[in-house]
Amino acid sequence: MQIAGSAAVVTGGASGLGEATVRALVAGGARVVIADRDETKGVALAKELGAAVAFAKTDVTDAAQVQAAVDAAAALAPLGIVIQCAGVGWAARTLNKEGVAHDYDLFKNVVAINLVGHFNVLRLAAAVMAKNAPGPSGERGVVVNTASVAAYDGQIGQAAYAASKAGVVGMTLPIARDLSAAGIRVCTIAPGTFDTPMLAMLPEAAREALGAGIPFPKRLGAPAEYAALALHIVTNAYLNGETIRLDGALRMPPK
């Protein structure tokens, strides 16, 4: 898929991995819609990056809001690229130290945003992409999902998060097979520990300890490294149905 001249939707695009991806796509010549719940950051980023970028306030679990973001992108140029970075990471044990059960609504909410929200965006974007004129190889679009190493190495307190991210990994291949007839590729990135705004709230000593636990390189991942892999997936037409760990060889311990 050619980046230049294509429209893209980036969910969670107002900060962190999503923001880095938006910047990389714009640098490559794409028109981008930032789909995010954070209107303040999203509008500010769109204003900074200029006419090639628009913001659409989007809750990925809301079909109407997602459809509006997808339609906004398709109005800019043929929608060929969707990169999904929206997600939440609340943690709780199945039973806490007092023996109280995990909050049921919390579990459902994490799965709703991280997994069901991913599918919601993907299905609506695919319906638009399928109407594109095919490229030389028959390609009409590409979707890059975001899972996590927690899909494989979930830690104590990550039952909801790990389940949601494992679901993203699990649906990648069947959806890629589903959409093969439409010429739409689907891949997933499973990041390890990245230097995002969430980790920026930790004390510097804690951030350094996290980085030191990564085999090599011994540091947190940079959002630009995620963006570089996402754009490589977009441009490499033979990558399909695959989940790629991006983690410096990290394997998470129980806690």
pLDDT tens-place string over residues 76-87? 999 999 999 999
What does the pLDDT read at residue 196?
85
- Which tens digits make up the pLDDT trace of 117-130? 999 999 999 999 99
7 beta partners: 31, 79
Residue type present at position 194: F
For the stretch 178-216, what's the b/e string if a residue is b when 16 or more beta carbons lie within 10 angstroms of its beta carbon? ebeebbbbbbbbbbbbbbbeeeeeeeeeebeebbeebee
**DSSP one-letter code for 113:** I
Domain contains 195: yes
Q: Kindly report the number of other CB atoms within 10 A of residue 226's CB atom.
A: 25
Distance CA(1)–CA(202), nearest Å, equals 38
What phi and psi values does residue 248 have, to the nearest 5 degrees?
A: 65, 30
Q: How many domains does the chain have?
A: 1
**pLDDT confidence tier of residue 212, bands split at 50, 70 and 90:** confident
Domain contains 251: no
- Which tens digits make up the pLDDT trace of 52-92? 999 999 999 999 999 999 999 999 999 999 999 999 988 89
* Percent of residues, the chain, with pLDDT higher than 90: 89
- Which tens digits make up the pLDDT trace of 224-250? 999 999 999 999 999 999 999 999 999
84 beta partners: 11
Better-scored residue on pLDDT, 211 or 183: 183
Domain contains 134: yes
Residue type present at position 209: A
Q: What CATH number is associated with residue 41?
A: 3.40.50.720
Asked, as a colleague might, if the bond just before 217 is cis with ω within 30 of 0, I would say yes
106 burial type by CB count under 10 A (0-12 exposed, 13-18 middle, 19+ buried)? middle
What does the pLDDT read at residue 199?
74
Domain contains 238: yes
Q: Encoding tokens for residue 23?
A: 């910047």
What are the residues whose beta carbons fall under 8 Å from the beta carbon of 75, sequence distance 6 or more?
none
In this predicted structure, the answer to whether residue 201 has a pLDDT above a threshold of 80 is no
Domain contains 2: no
* pTM tops 0.85: yes
What does the pLDDT read at residue 209?
79
Distance CA(17)–CA(252), nearest Å, equals 20
Domain contains 1: no
Distance CA(156)–CA(218), nearest Å, equals 23
Write down the catalytic residue from 152, 161, 226, 238. Answer: 161
Distance CA(53)–CA(26), nearest Å, equals 8
Residue with tokens 């709703």, as numbered in its chain = 112
- The answer to whether 161 is a known catalytic residue is yes
Domain contains 219: yes
Domain contains 147: yes
Domain around 141: 7-246
